[in-house]
Structures are given as C-alpha cells and as structure tokens.
C-alpha cells in the first residue's frame, strides 16, 4: 500500500547520502570563502542553466502527477513553442503547427502538385513580444490538449512501455518538425528580462539570471500551492492515487489530466521563450537539458515540485562548478565528468530512493504486446527459405543502391533484435542500445585500426566491450523498472556518449572520425569495396553484405530459439509479473541480467558491423537520439517478435524499405524522422504490436475466412490466433 | 406521486457483457433506509457500482431523481447529482490527510468540516493525519464523515462492517439511520450482517446469485427469519 512507505524511517542509504551532501556542501562553502572566483562564480553562472533545468523539471512533475506519464517530449514541446515565438517576433509569420506542409508527404509520394497549402501565416510584420508570447503559449496549450486527448488519454491504462514510446514519438515528431520548418541553425530573440550586468558578492554576472531564477521560484511556489491547497490540486492527487475513488467523489480525472497537460505544455513553452534570448535555441537544446531535468524530477519522486526545482538548480550549478574545476586544476582528467552529471545524479537517486516512484492506481491494466512464436510448420520453413533467398539475391545481385540499403537493413535487424530481447521479451525499456553499439564500433577502431589486430580477434573483443558496458549499465535494472529504467538507460547512454566518444584519451582518436580496417579473415577481404566474383562489381560489392546476411540470419534464428527456450519462457514470466515470476522460482535478477547481456551482445555486434560497413565514422552515428529512434523503429516494426525486428530493419534509416520507396516512389529522406515519429505515436496508441502484429492478424483473419468458406466450421483455430503468450 | 430518489427497473448488469445481476426491481425514497442483503457473490456491490455509473448497464434502467445514469466516461456526474457512494474498501485516499479527504466531499462550494467532527468526534484530533495511517475504524468514520458533509440526497454504503470489530460497526450503524432521519436523504445499505442492517432499515431486498429472491418491510423480513435464511441458502422452493 502506498501509505505504508511513509511509515518507514529514512533508509540508511538516504541518511548516508544526506550526510555526504552536507560534508561536500560545507567544504564548498569554506572553499568559496577562500577563493571566490573559482568556487562562487560558477554558481552564479550555473543558476541560469539550473533555472532552465528546474523549470523543465516542474513541467515533468505536473504531467506525471496528472497522468502518470514521464514525458520525453517535454523538451521538444518547449523547443517547438520557442521557435514559434521567435518566428512571430522576427517576421510575424505563424507556422501552421506542427506540419511543415501537411500535403508535402502526399505530394511527394503521389508525385503530384497539390494546391500550395499555406504553411506560414503572415501576421503583419514582426510582432510585439507580449502578443507573440500569448500566441506561442496558446499554441503550447493546444499541443498539450492534443497530447492529452489524442495520445495519453487513450493510453491511460496502457503499460508503461506504450506511454514511454508515445512520448518518445512526440519528441521525434516535434523535433523533426522544428528542423524541417526552421532548419537546424541556432536562433535567438530579443531579451525579455533586463540583462545589464550587476555585481554580486564581487562577481559580475548578467542580471537576467536572477530574473529567470525569480520566475522559477515563483512558479515553483505557485505549483506547490496549487497542488497542496486548492481543491483541484487535492483532487488531482486523489486521482493519481485512485481514479475510481475520485470518480465516486464526483471528480473528473480526465478533465484534471487535460488541464495539467495544458499547464505542463504552457510551462514548457514559457521556459523556452524566456530562455531563448539568453542562450539562443537549437532544435535539440531542451531535449538535451531534459535529461538533467528528468534526473531532478526523479529526485523529487516525480511528485515534489520543491525538491525537483531545487535539484534542477543544483545540477546547473554543479555543472558549472565542475567545468570551472576541470579548467582550473590540470590534474582533473578531461573526460567529460561534468557531462555525465545527470547520469550520476539519476543513478544516485535510484540507489538512494530505490523504487519509490509513486505508481498510478489504475482501474484496469492493458496487455503488453504479444510475444508471438509461430509454430514451425513445413510451409513456414519454406517461407523463411524464400525470404532468405530473396535477401541473398538483393544482397548480391541487385543494383548497388539496393545492396547498400540491404546492408543497412541487415545491421538494423540485429540492432532491433537487441530491443526485442530486452524490451519485447523482458519488458525492460532500454534507451542506450546505440551507445553500446558505439562502444563496440569505437573498439573496432582501437583494436583493429590502432592496434592492428586481425578481425577474428577484433570483432569478438569489440563485441565483448559493448557487452561489458551493457552489463554494467544494466545493474540499475535490478532495482528499477518501467519509466525509471527508461530514464536511467537514457542517462547511461548520454554518459557513455559524452565520456567515451567525445573525449580524447579513451578510444585513441577522440573527437575526430575513426577509421575501421577492411574486414578480412585468413587473408580473404570482404569489405564493402573488396572484389567479389558475383554481382556487377560496383561498390558496395556483395561480399560484406553476404557476411552480414549470414550473421543476421544467425541472430534471427537464435532469438527465435531463445523465445521457445526455457530462458525465453522465464523472460516472459518476468515481463508479465516480476513478483509472480519470483514466486514461481524464477531468478528475476539473473533473467534480467542475461536479457541485458544478450541484448548488449546484439547491439555491440550491430555497432561493430556498422563500423566495418562505414569505414570511417564519428560519434554522431551512436548518439542518444539514434538510440531513441532505434527504439522507435523497433516498436514500430513490432517490439516483441523477430518478424518485427526484420520489419524494423527495412524501415531503418536508409534501409531497404526506404531505398525502395526512394527509388520507386519518392524521396522520403528529409521526412523519415518526422513520419517515424508520427507512426510511432499511432502505433503506441492504436496498435501496440507494430506492423508485424498487424499483418499477422490481417493474415490470420484472411486465412480464417478462407477456411470458413472451405469448411463450414473450422475445428482448429488458424495459426496465429491460438497460441497466446503473456 | 413525486419522482423516486432511486428507481431501478428490469436491470441486468455485469462485466464484459455477462450479467451478474438479472432483472432487478428496486427503489429508494427520500428519508428511508433500505437494506440490500445477500451472501457473497450475490451482486450487491455490482448493483451499487452500476448506480454510480462505474459498471455499464446491460439492460433495463437506473434513474436517480428522474435522471438516467450516464455512460462510463461520465460516471463523475452521478456524484454531482448528490449521490454519495462509500465503497467496500471505504474510498479513503491514503496519500491525503483527513482534512483533504473531507474537502473532497464536494466538487464545489464550502465543506463543513465541523459537521463531520460533530458526528465523529474521534476525527477531530486526526485532521492532519494521512488517510493511510488511520485504523480501519477511523477510516470508516472518515468515509462516513465525508459522506455526511457531502450532504447527499442518496447515500450508498457498501459493507460497512467489513473488517471491523463488532463494537465499532454496531456504533456506526445507527449513524446511518440518523443521517436519513436528520437530512431526509435516502440510504441504500449493503450488508452481510442481516439483523444489524434490518434493525436500522425501513425495507430490505435480498439478492442471491444475481436474482432478487425476497423483498419487503424490514420488520416483516426479520419476523420471517426462516424464509430469510432459506433465501440466503438458495433453497429452490420457498412455499
């Protein structure tokens, strides 16, 4: 029962953490008195960023309290609204939200010219900031309403995974919309707060930070009062605890959630607008800051405004302080500790506060996507064989752009399989898979290129590196699950990216591009440029593709076998109910770790292969946003089946599906993320089994109808309907 | 005759299209206490939930003060008409304090906290304690207290005695009578303790396996103990 937790004393870990915090704080105060510029100046500088982080965290808490959703799209909403504001004050043009041109995809796919849809409405020249702010914030309110009514209300009783995926979809969609509409260059706006510098305790800083800080403080106080003392706030808390009880008392939980979504969105927009003049705005600024905000909100258990805001400010300050210290003291290694700060804080929050995210007392819970294991029939084997044969032909003999697409697809399949195992089978949301892939890719550079080891040693070593990182990063999953785990893995991914990919020292070459050796075993080269006796000889040749095909088929078969094995059954048991699984004698911790291990293996393999395929690569291929879109495609394809992973692979960036669309229909390139975001949301809301599950049901329905025509009454259910696994 | 406070006729209700209660006829008038009796699984709680709009009606009609009960999504409207439902698990919100729990008695307008304390003086010193920290009896007092300050026209109480010591629920039962007498509210009382419930009730209905097997004035039901017991045991012929 939720109430009982309050009865316990503070856990020991929390006491220790508080003690450590107190000691560090005291040490810092002493240091600040002795050397003010080094120890105090960063505080004032950090308050600016801290205020943004805090303000975003407030919005996250509002959304969570109202609907139990951790909104990964919060930062993107802030970004979008800010761009609207900037556009209004700059030129007075209002972009029709959120599409760049609603007809563009249709025009493109159809290859036709439709009427020119007005996508920017001129509002008569640059607008007064106050008016622009009103219009932009109204846009935010509408976005909030849409998010609630079209996405999160239908998902009220859905599993956490669907909610996380939907909010990731919002993020991808809005961010892509911003890039398509406004380009990816940074924009700025005229100051709103006075920004003349002031002297404060001997440090000269811009006044605007204090204004921003004051605004955040007022906002925090207002939210605290709202949720503490007003009937609306109390009733919203009541609904969060038990929706049925609050309904019996006459409160409309739906309405409350809608209001809170509007509130959260408007807050996000306000943050963006107030901050834009100070820092400028880029398409992913707020989404990157959001990771710190998630940490801050998590420290406040997603329910305390005051703790979340304070933690946000602290994060900003600490970030600047670490930056200053790294700069000041040469002995502190420049390995990006400060960039990993959100991760450290989130990890600490998890260890200290454990599983204390208040869960929502839902009236009913919906099912997770079915982990369908098709019965192995002769017909199906023939089908698989046919599929492999087609893949073989495309890989080796098709025109070069198809061969290239096929290679991307094959790697994509392996990457998606990693999510099928960890997220589809065990229900643990991992947002760090591409970071693990990156570790392996960079290891290929280090072992293969720098150390000159042969591939037979390099590839296993690279995969092992990724696997090792994956297992370490998986440790928090033993204590957390659901949305908290999603946040932690996101932060781990960021930490790995920042510390290992962007710095010199760890993987030899640092920020510059890395070079992978040509794959060869026993003197036989089979890189993308190696000669191959089949095909037209153009680059990429079929050699590397064939290697990928063999590996991808091997991975698919292993995951299919895994699903049918005892381990697979145990994984599904853990997914369904950890406690029940434990009670039935399943070692939950071991199952989770093995799932993360297997998933890391696939991710690392995919990453190493990416390195070999690309030849030269930089960290951009393995950033957290790539991780998010990998999850997006895997969910879109079907998160809990091998068929879904294959489907995901074809949809993948420059995968065979995209190449075919480009070649035969239209160039969807610029719209990929945009369309993916849209379909991701739609999939999360309306069809949680993805494309694979959808077509399976359609086929089963068709098969059923055919049988019914053939026989009056079918005695056995058709394949695909009977075997259900939860 | 004026409109009935609660009028149920030909009601079939249940879950996933399967009727748990069949062909129920029941009414409650202002100022009367009506007991809804029956063994486990008879469909008493389902009936109350249907009146509150939390369970979809399959067939028949339920009207409160002449208004039909709305669809599931609009369930909160029933409460705003003046129907207060104290559910089986009492509906106390554990994360909220006693005061906050009481404040939620009404969706708008002032809530008279003193009135709750007047009925249950024990709640007085507990005002800032969290609901989750109350004892079972205190929680039931809070639930009833909240129902009183809601100033309902129809009060429904589900299994008030569940999990409570006899001394406690024997004290709580007369309160229900008092609410009906003092405020003119109609009360629908679901109870397993037959004698206790009928003592404070004007009339009673007995459900078994979803069918209405007996109904009548409370005194009559009490007087006919053998028949009542038989109806509980589901004896086929009662003649």
Contact assessment for residue A602 and residue A417, using Cβ atoms and an 8 Å cutoff: yes
Which pLDDT score is estimated for A59?
Answer: 93
Comparing CB atoms, the residue among A1, A246, A251 nearest residue B132 is A1
Q: In angstroms, rounded to a whole number, what is the distance separating the alpha carbons of residues A86 and A180?
A: 16
- First-to-final CA distance of chain A: 26
Query: Residue A433: in which H helix or E strand, if any?
Result: helix A433-443
Backbone angles phi, psi at B207, to 5 degrees: -105, 145
Confidence of residue B188 (pLDDT cuts 50, 70, 90): very high
Q: Using one digit for the tens of pLDDT, what is the confidence trace for A121-164?
A: 777 778 888 899 999 999 999 999 999 999 988 888 787 788 88
The residue in chain A having the minimum alpha-carbon distance to the alpha carbon of residue B80 is A250
Question: Would you call A524 helix, strand, or coil by DSSP?
Answer: strand
Nearest-Cα residue of chain A relative to residue B53: A248
Concatenating the DSSP letter of every residue in B139-172 gives HHHHHHHHHHHT--SEEEEE-TTTT--HHHHHHH
DSSP A172-230: HHHHHHHHHHH-SS-B----SS---EEEETTEEEETHHHHHHHHHHHHHHHHHHHHHHS
**Residue from the list A237, A247, A251 with its beta carbon closest to the beta carbon of B96:** A237
Phi first, then psi: give them for residue B157, nearest 5 degrees: -120, 125
* Tens-digit pLDDT profile for residues A35-88: 777 777 777 878 888 899 999 999 999 998 888 888 889 999 999 999 999 988
Residue B24 placed within a domain: no
Q: Which residues pair with A524 in a beta bridge?
A: A521
Q: Please say whether the beta carbons of A118 and A165 come within 8 A.
A: no
- B211 assigned to some structural domain: no
DSSP secondary structure code for residue A446 in this structure: I
Interacting residues of B63 by C-beta distance below 8 A, sequence separation 6+: B4, B6, B7, B8, B69
Question: Residues A625-638: what's their mean pLDDT?
Answer: 85
Query: Which residues make Cβ contacts (< 8 Å) with residue B32, sequence separation at least 6?
Result: B180, B186, B187, B202, B203
Q: Which residues of B touch A241 (CB under 8 A)?
A: 93-96
**Distance between CA A568 and CA A12 in Å, rounded?**
37
Residue B120 falls within a domain, yes or no?
yes
pLDDT of A91 strictly over 80: yes
CATH annotation of A380-625: 1.10.3470
pLDDT digits (tens, 9 = 90+) for A645-658: 999 998 887 788 87
The full DSSP string for A339-353 is GGHHHHHHHHHHHHH
Percent of chain A residues topping a pLDDT of 90 = 23
Return the pLDDT at A178: 86
Tell me which chain A residues have a C-beta less than 8 angstroms from the C-beta of B131. 3
- Distance, in angstroms, between B64 CA and closest chain A CA? 15
pLDDT band at A460 (very low <50, low <70, confident <90, very high): very high
Across chain A, what does the average pLDDT equal?
81
Closest by Cβ to A4, choosing from B73, B93, B132: B132
Q: Let me know how long chain B is.
A: 239
**With contacts defined as CB-CB under 8 Å, which chain A residues touch B105?**
249
B29, B4 Cβ separation under 8 angstroms: yes
Residue A425 in this model has a pLDDT that exceeds 90 = yes
Contact (CB<8Å) A245/B73: no
Q: Where, residue-wise, is CATH 1.10.3470 in chain A?
A: 32-332, 380-625
A250 and B91 within 8 Å at the Cβ level: the answer is no
Which DSSP state fits A662? I
B79–A6 CB contact, under 8 Å: no
Report the range out of A26-30, A457-461, A577-581 with the highest average pLDDT: A457-461
Res. A355 pLDDT band, cuts 50 70 90: low
DSSP secondary structure letter of residue A359: P
Cβ proximity of A138 and A43 under 8 Å: no
Whether the Cβ atoms of residue A300 and residue A288 lie closer than 8 Å to each other: no
Asked if residue A264 has pLDDT above 90, the reply is: yes
On chain A, the residues whose CB falls within 8 A of the CB of B80 are 250
Minimal C-alpha gap between B74 and chain A (Å): 8
Q: Buried b vs exposed e over B199-230: b needs ≥16 C-beta within 10 Å?
A: bbbbbbbbbbebbbbbbeebeebeeeeebbeb
- Cα angle A299, A501, A670 (rounded to 5 degrees) comes to 90
Kindly give the pairing relationship between strand B83-86 and strand B154-158: parallel
Number of domains in chain B: 1
Query: Cα separation of B149 and B116, whole Å?
Result: 6
Residue A360: per-residue pLDDT: 56
Interface test mutation site (partner B, options A248, A252, A302, max chain B beta carbons within 10 A): A248
Cα separation, A8 vs A356, in Å, equals 12
DSSP string of A466-479? HHHHHHHHHGGGGT
Q: Which one of B107, B130, B133 has the shortest CB-CB distance to A250?
A: B107
Average pLDDT, stretch A407-429?
A: 92
Do the chains contact at B87 and A245, CB–CB below 8 Å? Answer: yes
Q: Is the pLDDT of residue A422 over 90?
A: yes
- The conformation of residue A101, written as its DSSP 8-state character, comes to -
Q: Which residues of B touch A229 (CB under 8 A)?
A: none
Which of A1-15, A322-336, A633-647, B54-68 bottoms out in mean pLDDT, i.e. has the lowest? A1-15
Q: Who among A1, A234, A247 is closest to B76 (CB)?
A: A247
A279-283, A589-593, A663-667, B148-152 — which is least confidently predicted? A663-667
From 1.10.3470, 3.40.50, 1.25.40, 1.10.357, which CATH number describes the A32-332 domain? 1.10.3470
A173 CA to centre of own chain: 12
Mean pLDDT of A456-465: 91
What was the pLDDT predicted at A418?
95
For residue A7, give how far its alpha carbon lies from the nearest alpha carbon of chain B (Å): 8
**Percent with pLDDT over 70 in chain A:** 86
Asked if B131 lies within 8 A of A242 by C-beta distance, the reply is no
pLDDT at position A341 is: 75
Looking at residue A354, its pLDDT comes to 58
Maximum CA extent, chain A? 91
In a domain, B220, yes or no: no
In a domain, B134, yes or no: yes
**Which stretch of A125-129, B1-5, B114-118, B198-202 has the lowest confidence by average pLDDT?**
B1-5
Burial of B173-196, coded b for 16+ CB within 10 Å and e otherwise, reads bebbbebbeebebbbbbbbbbbeb
- CA A454 and chain centroid, separation: 35
- pLDDT bin (cut points 50, 70, 90) of residue A222 is very high
- Residue B181 inside a domain? The answer is no
- List the single range of A100-114, A642-656, A673-687, B165-179 with lowest mean pLDDT: A100-114
Nearest-CA distance from A363 to chain B in Å? 10
Strand partners, A275: none
**B28 CB burial (10 A radius; 0-12, 13-18, 19+):** buried
At A287-332, the pLDDT tens digits run: 878 888 888 888 888 888 999 999 999 888 888 888 777 777 777 6
Are A139 and A96 spatial neighbours (Cβ–Cβ below 8 Å)? no
Is the per-residue pLDDT at A365 higher than 60?
no
For this complex, say whether ipTM is above 0.85: yes
Question: Rounded CA gap, A512 and A501, in Å?
Answer: 10
Interhelix angle A231-241/A41-67, nearest 10 degrees: 70
Q: Is residue B121 part of a domain?
A: yes
Give the Cα separation of B155 and B184 in Å (integer).
11
Q: Is the pLDDT of residue A568 over 90?
A: yes
């Amino acid at each position: 029962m939720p109430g009982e937790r309050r009865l316990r004393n503070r856990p020991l870990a929390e006491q220790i953490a508080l003690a450590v915090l107190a000691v560090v704080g005291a040490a810092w105060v002493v240091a600040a008195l002795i050397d003010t510029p080094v120890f105090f100046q960063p505080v004032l500088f950090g308050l600016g960023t801290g205020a943004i982080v805090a303000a975003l965290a407030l919005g996250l808490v509002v959304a969570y309290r109202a609907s139990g959703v951790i909104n990964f799209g919060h930062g993107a909403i802030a970004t979008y609204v800010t761009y609207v504001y900037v556009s209004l004050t700059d030129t007075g043009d209002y972009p029709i939200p959120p599409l760049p041109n609603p007809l563009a995809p249709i025009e493109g796919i159809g290859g036709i010219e439709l009427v020119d849809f007005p996508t920017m409405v001129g509002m008569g020249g640059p607008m007064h900031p106050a008016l622009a702010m009103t219009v932009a914030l109204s846009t935010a309110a509408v976005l909030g309403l849409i998010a609630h009514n079209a996405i999160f209300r239908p998902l009220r009783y859905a599993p956490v995974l669907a909610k996380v995926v939907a909010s990731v979809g919002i993020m991808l969609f809005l961010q892509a919309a911003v890039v398509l509409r406004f380009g990816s260059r940074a924009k700025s706006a005229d100051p709103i707060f006075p920004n003349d510098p002031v002297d404060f305790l001997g440090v000269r800083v811009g006044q605007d930070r204090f204004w921003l800080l004051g605004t955040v403080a007022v906002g925090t106080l207002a939210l605290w009062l709202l949720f503490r003392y007003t009937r609306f706030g109390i009733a919203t808390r009541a609904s969060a605890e038990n929706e049925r009880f609050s309904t019996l008392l006459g409160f409309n939980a739906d309405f409350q959630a809608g209001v809170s979504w509007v509130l959260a969105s408007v807050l996000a927009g306000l943050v963006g607008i107030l901050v834009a003049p100070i820092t400028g705005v880029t398409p992913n600024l707020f989404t990157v800051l959001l990771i710190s905000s998630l940490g801050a909100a998590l420290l406040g258990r997603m329910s305390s405004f005051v703790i979340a805001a304070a933690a946000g400010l602290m994060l900003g300050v600490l970030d600047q302080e670490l930056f200053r210290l790294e700069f000041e003291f040469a002995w502190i290694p420049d390995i990006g500790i400060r960039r990993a700060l959100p991760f450290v804080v989130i990890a600490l929050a998890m260890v200290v506060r454990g599983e204390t995210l208040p869960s929502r007392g839902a009236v009913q819970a919906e099912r997770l996507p079915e982990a369908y294991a098709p019965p192995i029939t002769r017909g199906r084997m023939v089908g698989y064989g046919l599929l492999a044969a087609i893949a073989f032909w495309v890989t080796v003999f098709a025109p070069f752009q198809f061969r290239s697409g096929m290679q991307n697809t094959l790697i994509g399949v392996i990457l998606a399989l990693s999510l099928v195992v960890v997220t589809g089978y065990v229900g643990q949301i991992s947002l760090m898979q591409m970071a693990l892939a990156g570790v392996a890719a960079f290891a290929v550079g280090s072992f293969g290129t720098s150390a000159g080891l042969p591939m037979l040693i390099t590839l296993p070593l690279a995969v092992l590196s990724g696997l090792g990182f994956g297992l370490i990063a998986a440790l928090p999953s033993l204590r957390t699950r659901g949305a908290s785990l999603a946040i932690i893995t996101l932060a781990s991914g960021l930490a790995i990216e920042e510390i290992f990919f962007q710095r010199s020292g760890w993987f030899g070459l640092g920020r510059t591009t890395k070079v992978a050796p040509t794959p060869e075993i026993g003197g036989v080269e089979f890189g993308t440029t190696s000669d191959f006796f089949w095909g037209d000889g153009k680059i990429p040749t079929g050699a590397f593709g064939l290697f990928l095909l063999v590996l991808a088929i091997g991975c698919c078969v292993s995951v299919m076998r895994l699903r049918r094995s005892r381990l697979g059954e145990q994984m599904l048991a853990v997914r369904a109910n950890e406690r029940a699984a434990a009670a039935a004698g399943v070692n939950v911790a071991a199952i989770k770790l093995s799932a993360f291990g297997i998933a890391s293996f696939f991710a690392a393999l995919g990453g190493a292969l990416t390195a070999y395929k690309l030849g030269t690569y930089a960290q951009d291929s393995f950033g957290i946003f790539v991780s998010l879109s990998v999850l997006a495609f895997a969910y879109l394809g079907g998160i809990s089946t091998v068929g879904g992973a294959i489907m995901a692979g074809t949809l993948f960036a420059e995968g065979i599906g995209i190449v075919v669309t480009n070649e035969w229909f239209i160039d969807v390139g610029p719209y990929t993320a945009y369309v993916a975001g849209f379909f991701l949301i739609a999939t999360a809301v309306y069809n949680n089994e993805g494309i694979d599950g959808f077509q399976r049901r359609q086929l089963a329905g068709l098969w059923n109808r055919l049988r019914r025509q053939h026989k009056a009454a079918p005695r056995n259910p058709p394949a695909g309907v009977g075997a259900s696994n939860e | 005759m004026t409109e009935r406070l609660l009028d149920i006729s030909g009601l079939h209700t249940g879950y996933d299209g399967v009727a748990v209660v069949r062909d129920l006829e029941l009414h409650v008038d202002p100022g009367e206490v009506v007991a809804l009796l029956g063994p486990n699984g008879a469909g008493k709680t389902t009936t109350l939930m249907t009146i509150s709009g939390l369970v979809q009606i399959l067939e028949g009609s339920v009207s409160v003060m002449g208004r039909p009960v709305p669809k599931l999504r609009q369930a909160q409207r029933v409460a705003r008409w003046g129907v207060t439902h104290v559910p089986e698990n009492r509906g106390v919100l554990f994360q909220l304090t006693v005061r906050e729990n009481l404040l939620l008695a009404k969706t708008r307008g002032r809530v008279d906290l003193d009135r709750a304390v007047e009925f249950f003086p024990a709640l007085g010193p507990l005002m800032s304690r969290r609901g989750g920290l109350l004892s079972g009896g205190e929680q039931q007092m809070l639930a009833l207290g909240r129902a009183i300050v809601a100033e309902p026209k129809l009060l429904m109480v589900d299994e008030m005695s569940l999990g409570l010591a006899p001394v406690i629920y024997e004290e709580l039962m007369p309160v229900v009578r008092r609410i009906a007498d003092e405020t003119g509210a109609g009360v629908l009382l679901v109870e397993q303790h037959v004698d206790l419930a009928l003592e404070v009730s004007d009339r009673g209905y007995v459900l078994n396996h979803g069918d209405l097997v007996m109904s009548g004035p409370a005194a009559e039901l009490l007087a006919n103990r053998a028949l009542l017991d038989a109806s509980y045991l589901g004896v086929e012929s009662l003649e």
